[in-house]
Structure 1
Amino acid sequence: MPLSAADIIAQLTALLGANGVIGEAGQMAGYLTEPRKRFHQPASAVTLPASVEQVQAIVRWASENRVGIIPQGGNTGLVGAQVPLRGDEVIVSLARLDRIRSIDVAAGTMTAEAGVILENAHKAAEAEDTIFPLWLGSQGSARVGGLLSSNAGGVNVLAYGNARELTMGVEAVMADGRLYRGLNSLKKDNTGYDLKDLLVGAEGTLGIITAATLKIFPKPEDHETALVSIAGPEAALTLFQLLRERIGSRLNAFEIVPRIGLDMQLRQGMLDRDPSAGTSPWYALIEVSRMRGGTPGALMAAIEAAFTDSLIDNAVFAESLADRTRMWAFREQMSEVQSKEGASIKHDVSVPIAAVPQLIAEGIAAAERLAPGIRPVPFGHMGDGNIHFNFSQPVGAEPKAFMAEFDEKLHEAIYEIVLRLGGSVSAEHGIGQLKIDLLEQVKDPVALDMMRAIKSALDPNGILNPGKMLPR
């Protein structure tokens, strides 16, 4: 017989103590509502384990009682992997596992528990004159476990890689409660399957990550940051190639944003002033790191060469930390400002870098044919081909009516272009419950069979984040 919610709460309270369980619906609300507010299901309970041993105890209990459990970090995910799907699951919040266990500067590693907030990981690394380079807009609330489970990207992927590439090893509780002790920091270890890479990006469907050994890097002495005025994505691609030739691996970030995004932020009062050099159809936000002993001015010299080649129209360089902060705020506030402008239809997609201009051109044309007056707002990581291809409702449109009429149609149009160009329908946000049906449509059938076999082997009772990622 399935346990009732009351039985679940009582048994978990006996296991964890009163401070380790939330059973009242109102108190659970913050764990159930994700940033986009697209999913609305209750949970049987929320657990707050204070140790790895308590996580193991919860998982053993869940396995014995066939109760679905959902690992949750900072609840910043955008595809619903971290919130209930069925309404009877138990959420396992990792927030209390928030210690930095160790930092080894010589080895270039930091071991952090799953509940460590990304911003705190940054501070811990910087206290040792190093950096942990995973950087994204939700760093004040996103937690290490969730970032690894979704294989988060961010703006420094170009130079440092995504979460999987920044992870040396993981510790994880498996579906039967056993602890996988994989916190090694070896750069070379050919002793079998790379189980770390299997768990990172699995969205909690194969195990619950409780800690990770992460790569840290020497702290740059300085950054050169510029906001460059460009004609469009074609010019951005040519400029990116020039910068890679001249600057190489010191090129940290190359982000593109259309003028409409800047106009929205100025209109909504989200910027105290225009950070650009003047009105332009598009902008490229570029950042280069300079290590100790390095020669300053690499970005300036490259931008001057771009001017000579007529690749750019204008540019402004950050002359202070305030300037740099303002430029990055312009980029990082793009998603937030769209919510202030009404309903928006969003796509986290990637294509080969050379195909980005074609994706944007064809995608905008398709959207404008479907919905005259729609406002295209494509922006993001030009340097790795990951574009957040978003569309805001026409001015004056009724949000619910706009979404009801165009959400599905626009997804179909954009995804058709992405797949035709050899791209991915999920670049860095994951699958969760939002894209699970889409995954079944686009994923190689053999790959899906392999994924199901792995899930069955590691979670035979199907208790770990049931119904997420893997098509039913």
Structure 2
Amino acid sequence: MFISRVQGFRSSLQTIKRGSRYISVKSSNDKPYNSSQKGCSKGALSVKGVSSIKSNIDYCYQHNLSVIPQGGNTNLVESATPVQHSSPLYLMGQDSSDLSVDVKNKVITADAGATILDIQQKAQDYNLRFDLDFGSKGTATIGGALATNAGGMRNRISDLVVSMAGVTGNQDYLQQNITERPTIKNSVLPDKQYSWLGSQGYFGFIHHCQLLLKEPSQQEITLLLGFGSLSDSLRWLGRIRQPSLSLAELISKQALSAAELRPFSKGYDYYLLCQFQQSQLESTWTDQLLESVMFWIAKHNLDADVIITQSDVQTQQLLAARESISDQLRSLARSNGQSLLGLDLQIPNHNLHLFMTKASQLATDFWGARPFPFGHCAQHPHYTTVHFNCLIEDSNKEFDRFYIQKDPLLTSFVNQADSAKTLSQFLVWFSHYLNGAHSSEHGGLGSRHLDHTVRYSNKELLDHFVAQKMLHDPNHIFQRDRWNQFLDLYQRRFDSY
């Protein structure tokens, strides 16, 4: 837990019951505790066990303190650290990463503090696999993944969870067993039925969960295709969608260059990294697949090429290169003294070409940004998660409408998005204009997206979130400052509460 501007901090620790561990934060720049906001916190406590969590929540209630849960502090939407000028608060972190595997049922039980990589490595010990992959899996905790409904190259956590349990702001132990498929399809607001899923720290503290594992495929085929145009890559992607397609990553040439990968003798505008899995395959299936791909390329006279990995080492090299893109972009931004604008947008597949082309054009021509887009195409049959990352000199720069007159379609878009001034604001508006969402994986209730969530979500979904908050945390112990911000935005939009 963090504590901020609380008198007698060290002495107050004596009243907190055993099971907590104090962590001194000597500098406002100390990580992982202050990565998104600076100068807000003096110390941290990590907790272990349900009784410890309950006693600390009770202490916060008795002393009018607010709580923010923290996982691995990946924190891409600024929801896991205190807001600036916050009310006195603690920030709770899980001091346990215990794991146990039920081999017969292919289920792993994990404490919320376990990282995605911890879970994957534990599953491998039993020749099983946990199919959630993303670049920060070495630091991202499973509790944080559940709280944001995080997604990776293959799945979302909502596809893999069996049960979740934690302690609410009411100090109630709440276990939720998944009996029906969750309806949540992004990370904007919590799931309607399973409130821990996508809760983003607003209802309580997730303690542990159970997750599905799977046996490794008997045969796995990985392809990397290069295409001379976005339209050709999307046409081919539509052609090969089938149950055996477990991974499909659309990668722009700019994003691939950030990963420092040069797989072909020539460069292409877009690439598709695809993986097919089946439990039983004919020995000739690889040859048949390659023959089918080459025939399709030749038939349509495409500017394209393909490679098929010949070993698990080659496959892991491609996957590691893809996972490294975000980290490489952050490093590039630091070395160039630029800002990295990173948005995770959910775009319907039928609007994906329009979004990618026009968003990239606007970012380059009117904001002077360098876009590095890539996305997950296998998470959902009808949507693609687009990580639209841009290197930009000034993220607050506003565009000049005069230059957009050259493109009637862009003029139409910009005239409708009259409240969007910055590149980030326009991309969020554009994703909703195309029937998408502004937070596909990272959480819509953090500081960065809170205004967008209230602005673009329908009243029914927002009202359901309010009802969940009042049910699980009526005293507003969790995320108090952001909850107050939410209510202010909500009232301004609907003029009622």
Instruction: Report if TM-score (shorter chain) is over 0.5.
Output: yes
CA separation of 1:131 and 1:10: change in aligned 2, threshold 3 A: same
**How far apart are the structure 1 equivalents of 2:58 and 2:197?**
22
User: Which position in structure 2 is the counterpart of 1:354?
Assistant: 350
Q: More deviation in 414-423 or 339-348?
A: 339-348
**How far apart are the structure 1 equivalents of 2:296 and 2:61?**
60
One of 174, 180, 199 as aligned partner of 2:174: 180
One of 414, 423, 440 as aligned partner of 2:436: 423
8 Å CA contact 1:347–1:388 kept in 2: the answer is yes
Q: Deviations over 1:322-364 (max 9, x none)?
A: 3222212332122222223332222210111121111111112
**How far apart are the structure 1 equivalents of 2:178 and 2:128?**
17
CA separation of 1:278 and 1:141: change in aligned 2, threshold 3 A: same
User: Which position in structure 2 is the counterpart of 1:386?
Assistant: 385
* 1:88 has 2:84 as partner: no
* 1:405 has 2:418 as partner: no
**How far apart are the structure 1 equivalents of 2:115 and 2:477?**
26
8 Å CA contact 1:349–1:387 kept in 2: the answer is yes
**How far apart are the structure 2 equivalents of 1:13 and 1:317?**
61
Q: More deviation in 383-392 or 402-411?
A: 402-411
Equivalent AA in structure 2 for residue 404 of structure 1: N
Q: Deviations over 1:381-425 (max 9, x none)?
A: 1344110112223xxxxx4xx223259511232223211110101
One of 319, 322, 331 as aligned partner of 2:313: 322
- 1:197 match: secondary structure: coil
Q: Deviations over 1:137-156 (max 9, x none)?
A: 11111111011111000100
User: Which position in structure 1 is the counterpart of 2:222?
Assistant: 225
Give how far 1:307 is off.
2.1
CA separation of 1:188 and 1:419: change in aligned 2, threshold 3 A: closer
Equivalent AA in structure 2 for residue 33 of structure 1: N
For structure 2, which runs of at least 5 residues remain unmatched after alignment?
Answer: 183-190, 334-338, 400-420, 488-497
- 2:272 match: secondary structure: strand
Give how far 1:279 is off.
1.1
Q: Deviations over 1:267-320 (max 9, x none)?
A: xxxx5xx23453111111111124256654164354234324435610112222
Give how far 1:201 is off.
0.6
| Equivalent residues in 2 for 1:229-268, closer than 5 Å | 229-244=226-241, 248-266=242-260
Equivalent AA in structure 2 for residue 390 of structure 1: N
Equivalent AA in structure 2 for residue 286 of structure 1: C
8 Å CA contact 1:170–1:212 kept in 2: the answer is yes
User: Which position in structure 2 is the counterpart of 1:448?
Assistant: 462
User: Which position in structure 1 is the counterpart of 2:330?
Assistant: 339
CA separation of 1:305 and 1:187: change in aligned 2, threshold 3 A: farther
Q: TM-score, normalised by structure 2?
A: 0.81
Q: Deviations over 1:237-276 (max 9, x none)?
A: 21112111xxx2221111111112233443xxxx5xx234
CA separation of 1:332 and 1:302: change in aligned 2, threshold 3 A: farther
CA separation of 1:19 and 1:418: change in aligned 2, threshold 3 A: closer
Give how far 1:3 is off.
9.9
8 Å CA contact 1:170–1:196 kept in 2: the answer is no
**How far apart are the structure 1 equivalents of 2:271 and 2:73?**
31
8 Å CA contact 2:29–2:38 kept in 1: the answer is no
Q: TM-score, normalised by structure 1?
A: 0.85
Q: Deviations over 1:112-165 (max 9, x none)?
A: 1101111110111122221111111111111110111110001002xxxx1122
8 Å CA contact 2:130–2:214 kept in 1: the answer is yes
User: Which position in structure 2 is the counterpart of 1:304?
Assistant: 294
For structure 1, which runs of at least 5 residues remain unmatched after alignment?
Answer: 394-398
Equivalent AA in structure 2 for residue 20 of structure 1: R
Give how far 1:29 is off.
2.0
User: Which position in structure 1 is the counterpart of 2:26?
Assistant: 25
CA separation of 1:188 and 1:426: change in aligned 2, threshold 3 A: closer
Give how far 1:204 is off.
1.6
Q: Deviations over 1:91-118 (max 9, x none)?
A: 1111x22101x32233231111101111
One of 37, 40, 44 as aligned partner of 1:46: 44
Number of positions where the alignment pairs a residue of Structure 1 with one of Structure 2:
440
* 1:281 has 2:269 as partner: yes
8 Å CA contact 1:224–1:318 kept in 2: the answer is yes
**How far apart are the structure 2 equivalents of 1:33 and 1:6?**
20
- 1:79 match: secondary structure: coil
- 2:30 match: secondary structure: helix
8 Å CA contact 1:168–1:212 kept in 2: the answer is yes
Equivalent AA in structure 2 for residue 53 of structure 1: S
Q: Deviations over 1:7-60 (max 9, x none)?
A: 3443334424597122443398223233xxx42242253111122221121112
**How far apart are the structure 1 equivalents of 2:357 and 2:131?**
32
**How far apart are the structure 1 equivalents of 2:264 and 2:438?**
31
- 1:228 match: secondary structure: strand
User: Which position in structure 2 is the counterpart of 1:462?
Assistant: 476
Equivalent AA in structure 2 for residue 153 of structure 1: G
Equivalent AA in structure 1 for residue 22 of structure 2: V
8 Å CA contact 1:168–1:187 kept in 2: the answer is no
8 Å CA contact 1:97–1:113 kept in 2: the answer is yes
- Percent identity between matched residues is 20
CA separation of 1:327 and 1:72: change in aligned 2, threshold 3 A: same
User: Which position in structure 1 is the counterpart of 2:417?
Assistant: none
CA separation of 1:348 and 1:223: change in aligned 2, threshold 3 A: same
Equivalent AA in structure 1 for residue 297 of structure 2: F
Equivalent AA in structure 1 for residue 63 of structure 2: N
8 Å CA contact 2:28–2:38 kept in 1: the answer is no
8 Å CA contact 1:318–1:324 kept in 2: the answer is yes
8 Å CA contact 1:43–1:91 kept in 2: the answer is no
